[in-house]
Amino acid sequence: MSEEPGTRPARLDVGVVGTGRVGAVLGAALARAGHRVVAGYGVSVTSRSRADALLPDVPLVDVPEVLEQSDLALLSVPDDTLPGLVEGLAATGAIRTGQFIVHTSGRFGVSVLEPATRAGALPLALHPALTFTGTSVDLQRLSTSTFGVTAPEPLWPVAEALVIEMGSEPVRVAEEQRGLYHAALTHGANHLVTLINDAMDLLRAAGVEYPDRSLAPLLSAALDNTLRQGDEALTGPVSRGDSGTVADHLRVVDAAMPEATAVYTALARRTAGRALASGRLQATDAEPLLEILATPPGPH
């Protein structure tokens, strides 16, 4: 399957099942690497528009026809849809011996592809650790991203080559660790979006007209410092054991946006735990702080 032993996969005919944000971009990345995207499948108007923009001249057909035309079928569908899709394709004989069946789910490894494997397919799990816009901007972002890769050992060189060809770095994830891998990324990225939006709403409530301008440099520095220094990057009232400030925060957050109070409290407790464990917070300072965090906010 390689142009030279141990190098890269031969040029493949690629079919994309699911031309949403991820599928259309990865199809375009594979095309940019020299593979041929020969067919796609997309249902919604948005998915079809993405295909028009990122996969021009690629015909959109039904799923069995995508499989029929492709050496590599890229399944980019919601996690809950994937097992049933694979089972259905295998049951209807749509999968060929020697065909690469690749999914982009973070949650699953290659075991979800077992029906296809029994039909003779070559299974790969390639999950891009990236938040997608579904535009050509993502093609550039791939160059600084990683893919969580799970594959049978004989297929690892092919999986690695495909990821590298798309401009990214492959990271091995064991089959039994896919759930934890995905939970970690979700906790970091998706919950960050919620956290930042809450912070912007609170700043608006405080009368700040452009909260993004206040948060952008602060959050960029905090992210960069944390990735470089870990818990040593922690600053703020929790790390200082400033229980009075934390109590005041709880009071004003509860008044302005009560639905955010529990989140602030939970994150402050977790922050205190990490600060204690890393030595940033002393036990004597933590005691009154944790007492404040255990008490429902109210007038002080």
Q: What topology is assigned to 13-173 in CATH? A: Rossmann fold (3.40.50)
Q: In this predicted structure, what is the pLDDT of residue 6?
A: 44
* CA gap 36, 1 in Å, rounded: 15
For 142-196, the pLDDT digits (tens) are 999 999 999 999 999 999 999 999 999 999 999 999 999 999 999 999 999 999 9
Q: Please compute the mean of the pLDDT values over residues 244-251 and round it to a whole number.
A: 96
Give the rounded distance of the alpha carbon of 70 from its chain centre.
Answer: 26
**Residue 10 above 90 pLDDT?**
no
DSSP calls for the chain: -BSSTTS-BPP-EEEEE--SHHHHHHHHHHHHTT-EEEEEE--SHHHHHHHHHHSTTPPB--HHHHHHH-SEEEE---TTTHHHHHHHHHHTT-PPTT-EEEE--SS--SGGGHHHHHTT-EEEEEEE-S---SSTHHHHHGGG-EEEEE--GGGHHHHHHHHHHTT-EEEE--GGGHHHHHHHHHHHHHHHHHHHHHHHHHHHHTT-S-HHHHHHHHHHHHHHHHHHHGGGG--SHHHHT-HHHHHHHHHHHHHH-GGGHHHHHHHHHHHHHHHHHHTSS-HHHHHHHHHHHTS-----
Q: Please compute the mean of the pLDDT values over residues 1-16 and round it to a whole number.
A: 67
Tell me what the pLDDT averaged over the chain comes to: 94
Given a contact cutoff of 8 angstroms between Cβ atoms, the answer to whether 86 and 75 are in contact is yes
Q: Please compute the mean of the pLDDT values over residues 128-152 and round it to a whole number.
A: 96
Q: In this predicted structure, what is the pLDDT of residue 5?
A: 41
Q: Please compute the mean of the pLDDT values over residues 27-44 and round it to a whole number.
A: 97
Q: Please compute the mean of the pLDDT values over residues 90-106 and round it to a whole number.
A: 97
Q: Please compute the mean of the pLDDT values over residues 119-144 and round it to a whole number.
A: 96
For 255-273, the pLDDT digits (tens) are 999 999 999 999 999 999 9
Q: Where are the domains of the chain?
A: 13-173, 181-293
Q: Please compute the mean of the pLDDT values over residues 52-72 and round it to a whole number.
A: 97
Q: What topology is assigned to 181-293 in CATH? A: N-(1-d-carboxylethyl)-l-norvaline Dehydrogenase; domain 2 (1.10.1040)
